Amino acid sequence: MAKLSNIKDAPNTKKNYISKSNFEDGIYGWNTYADAAGTSPVDGTGGSSSLVVARDAVTTILRGTASLAIGAVGNLQGEGISSDFEIDNIDQGRKINISFDYHTDGSSHANGDFKVFVYDITNANLLPVLNDDDGDIMLAPENGGFIGTFYPASDSVNYRLIIHVATTNTAIRNLNIDNIVVGPEEYAPGAIVTEWESFTPTFNNSPTATYTGFKWKREGSDLLVRGRVDYTATDGAAGTYQLNISSINPNITPTGDIHAGAAGGYNFASDSGFSLFRLSSNSTGIYVSANGGSSAILGSGISSGEDLYFNARVEITEWKASNLISTQEALFSTYNTKRGTTAGQSIPSSVYTPIDFENLFYESLSIYTSGVTYTAGTGTWATNPEFTIHKTGVYRLSAMFLYNTTTTWVTTDVALLTIYINGTPNTALARGTQFDSSATYMNLGGTATLKLNKGDTVQIRMYQDTGAALALYSGNNEFNYVNIEEIPDFSVFGVHGETEIRSITSTQYFVSSMSSGDWADVAADSNGIELTPGQWRLDGAVRATDSTGTWSAISIKWSSENGDNTASVPANIDASANMTQDTGNNEALSINQADTFSHWGPVKPIHVTVTATDTVFINASATFSVAGAANFIMYITATRIK
């Protein structure tokens, strides 16, 4: 381990777990490391690093008289710097904020070359740092600020802050940082300023033109727009060429007039006067006026070769200037969508088939990829229909499906509605069975809360095992749809506790000696989830996979202890002195099916009040008509209510 200089730093009066947070007199408490090459560190300590780390008191000083300079030359993926810190007992399990000032040296950097992590030393566990950029340090040649959060464990006070080289970029990269703060305090409100973001403009009367460099950004309550229109033909239409605000963001409304100067670079031969940007009468777009007046320039006055440079600023109704975000704005800024299908997609027997939603009700952001080239016989697509998550967070997904009229069902047939994450089954929304030929329509529906990461793909898949292909109802969108909504972190409003979600998925567990009626012991594969004090909603499911025997029923329940591979029923949640079950019950949900194949079963959602850290389990038992072994996979999602 390379030890940096050991000189006393200036005092910091904030509650800050990084005791030497600036570098006025030297570098203290920071070490370089070289872990195995990878986008994430192993533990952020040990090895011999080639990073150049020094106190910069001359070139790039961010605050005071000096800053910390980190230099990377060549592919140094897996290396970085770290600093150990200890938190107070009261902050165990609570959200901890991380912030620092930084500067990157421009074009040689790429977003995410450096990434921030926290390592739980006690539990030997790497923790993600959560923010809109998933912990990446973004390109900031004109200085930037990093803000993120992490959640410490409930049984550890010892942690390590890590700045990790995450990419294989070989260019020379210099990163300067200063004013590092790690602590529980909230940050004082300040102006909300975003980076410039490219967009494709639309106009209410489409000009014969090309668009170059159209970008927008937010500064407090103002929207800034810039770009250039190059007219390639003479348009004879008399309509107004108005830039539609909806092409930037469909959920914002301009208010007042445009408070920007003249249209820079304006070159219309038909107007030699002073030109201004104006807001349309219905507040939906921006147009250019002629000769400094209020009348819009019309298409009939535009000739080929003329250009228009947009450089406008307008106040937005839904945006506030401060970081004290209004509830209205936060709800607008979260993702939400509803899509449906009337295509009558054919679902082959015994295949988990991705469903395409070709009809859009609404969406706040386009993250859906439509299915391409469906093969009905195999239930497969050349390109799968799926949602690609744009931001790490907590999401609520609801879906409902109705099969078309049929007399194919028999009572032993099964239908399933399942969420797949990154191509892997994650959560069973619903399961139907015991239908017969008189049940002409069969529907499935359910809701789940999911912790999703940026880049995750979400698919909705249907399954049925009637032995023949069945079609979905095609009458209207009312019966076949999906809703996805991002759940905001209400702690920013100061009126609710922090949104927190925990989830586990056990690996497939084979119970070789299971007898009929036994409750499976799958402790080695984590069928329990630890809950800290507070109120929680629990959702869960069990997947019973192929068995060497034949079962006639599968039972699933919540409990405060694990099964032990005997017929002894695990204790209910209320049996624990630390937990009280507020809603729902401990009734075991039975899945009646006489075969050896895979079956899903959701557990009834419940609310639990926890007074001291404890563990909740999900358990499964199989009743065999023909003795044999069984495989189980357990899924649990715990969402903190308060």
CATH number at residue 396: 2.60.120.40
Calculate mean pLDDT across residues 284-289. 60
Q: What is the DSSP letter of 548?
A: S
Coil/strand/helix, residue 581? strand
CB–CB of 433/593 below 8 Å?
yes
Calculate mean pLDDT across residues 128-137. 84
User: In this structure, what is the dihedral angle of CA atoms 457, 462, 468, 472, given to the nearest 10 degrees?
Assistant: -110
Calculate mean pLDDT across residues 591-597. 45
Q: What is the number of domains present in the chain?
A: 4
Q: Position 358: which residue type? A: E
Domain-ending residue, one of 491, 524, 557: 491
Q: What is the DSSP letter of 437?
A: T
In terms of domains, do 407 and 551 share one? no
Assigned domain for 192 exists: no
d(C-alpha 523, C-alpha 368), whole Å: 38
Strand pairing category for 501-505 and 359-363: unpaired
Among residues 377, 254, 26, which one has the least CA distance to residue 242?
254
Predicted confidence at residue 340, as pLDDT, reads 92
What string of H, E and C letters represents the secondary structure of 263-278?
CCCCCCCCCCCCCEEE
Tens of pLDDT, residue by residue over 1-42, are 343 333 333 333 368 898 878 888 888 889 999 999 999 999
d(C-alpha 352, C-alpha 36), whole Å: 38
Please say whether the dihedral angle defined by the alpha carbons of residues 15, 16, 17 and 19, taken in this order, is positive or negative: negative
Q: What are the two backbone dihedrals, phi and then psi, of residue 528, each rounded to the nearest 5 degrees?
A: -115, 155
Q: Which of 24-28, 190-194, 434-438 has the highest mean pLDDT?
A: 24-28
C-alpha triplet 532, 538, 541: angle, nearest 5°: 130
Predicted confidence at residue 563, as pLDDT, reads 72
pLDDT confidence tier of residue 265, bands split at 50, 70 and 90: very low
Predicted confidence at residue 262, as pLDDT, reads 38
CATH number at residue 24: 2.60.120.260
Assigned domain for 189 exists: no
In terms of domains, do 85 and 175 share one? yes
Q: Range of 625's domain?
A: 500-640
Predicted confidence at residue 495, as pLDDT, reads 41
Calculate mean pLDDT across residues 224-233. 78
**Residue 551 pLDDT exceeds 90:** no
C-alpha triplet 442, 444, 448: angle, nearest 5°: 180
How many residues in the chain?
642
In terms of domains, do 504 and 487 share one? no
Q: Which of 351-355, 361-365, 582-586 has the highest mean pLDDT?
A: 351-355
C-alpha gyration radius of the chain: 29
Predicted confidence at residue 124, as pLDDT, reads 92
Calculate mean pLDDT across residues 425-451. 79
Which tokens in the block code for residue 490?
A: 């209400």
Calculate mean pLDDT across residues 300-320. 70
pLDDT confidence tier of residue 270, bands split at 50, 70 and 90: very low
**Residue 461 pLDDT exceeds 50:** yes
**Residue 206 pLDDT exceeds 80:** no
Predicted confidence at residue 5, as pLDDT, reads 34
Predicted confidence at residue 168, as pLDDT, reads 92
Please give the share of the chain, as a percent, with pLDDT higher than 70: 67
d(C-alpha 642, C-alpha 639), whole Å: 9
Calculate mean pLDDT across residues 47-61. 89
| 488: number of Cβ within 10 Å | 18
Q: For the chain, how far is it from start to end, CA to CA, in angstroms?
A: 43
Assigned domain for 326 exists: no
pLDDT confidence tier of residue 514, bands split at 50, 70 and 90: low
Predicted confidence at residue 375, as pLDDT, reads 95
Assigned domain for 325 exists: no
d(C-alpha 558, C-alpha 569), whole Å: 11
In terms of domains, do 479 and 516 share one? no
Which tokens in the block code for residue 133?
A: 């950029």
Predicted confidence at residue 60, as pLDDT, reads 86
Question: Between these two residues, 267 and 528, which has the higher pLDDT value?
Answer: 528
Q: Which of 2-11, 12-21, 57-66, 223-232 has the highest mean pLDDT?
A: 57-66
CATH number at residue 518: 2.60.120
Question: Can you tell me which residue has the tokens 């506030």?
Answer: 320
Which tokens in the block code for residue 347?
A: 């679902």
In terms of domains, do 63 and 157 share one? yes
Assigned domain for 324 exists: no
Q: Which of 153-162, 234-243, 376-385 has the lowest mean pLDDT?
A: 234-243
Mean pLDDT of the chain: 76
Calculate mean pLDDT across residues 202-211. 74
Which tokens in the block code for residue 306?
A: 């003329």
Among residues 612, 601, 428, which one has the least CA distance to residue 530?
612
**Residue 586 pLDDT exceeds 50:** no
**Residue 523 pLDDT exceeds 80:** no
Which tokens in the block code for residue 507?
A: 């690996």
In terms of domains, do 620 and 541 share one? yes
Domain-ending residue, one of 118, 153, 183: 183
In terms of domains, do 449 and 509 share one? no
Assigned domain for 63 exists: yes
Assigned domain for 337 exists: yes
Q: Position 149: which residue type? A: T
CB–CB of 249/281 below 8 Å?
no
Predicted confidence at residue 77, as pLDDT, reads 94
Question: Between these two residues, 248 and 173, which has the higher pLDDT value?
Answer: 173
Predicted confidence at residue 46, as pLDDT, reads 93
In terms of domains, do 274 and 338 share one? no
In terms of domains, do 146 and 51 share one? yes
Calculate mean pLDDT across residues 331-339. 70
In terms of domains, do 395 and 505 share one? no
Predicted confidence at residue 585, as pLDDT, reads 47
Strand ranges, E, within 350-406 = 353-354, 359-363, 368-369, 372-375, 380-383, 386-388, 393-402
Domain-ending residue, one of 161, 183, 205: 183
**Residue 80 pLDDT exceeds 90:** yes
In terms of domains, do 174 and 291 share one? no
d(C-alpha 32, C-alpha 54), whole Å: 11
Question: Between these two residues, 310 and 593, which has the higher pLDDT value?
Answer: 310
Assigned domain for 48 exists: yes
Give exposure, 231-265, as e/b (b: 16+ Cβ within 10 Å): beeebeeeebbbbebeebbeebebeeebebeebee
Q: Percentage helix, strand, coil, to 5, in the chain?
A: 5, 45, 50
Predicted confidence at residue 330, as pLDDT, reads 44
Predicted confidence at residue 612, as pLDDT, reads 83
Question: Between these two residues, 445 and 54, which has the higher pLDDT value?
Answer: 54
In terms of domains, do 113 and 158 share one? yes
Calculate mean pLDDT across residues 56-68. 86
Question: Between these two residues, 50 and 25, which has the higher pLDDT value?
Answer: 50
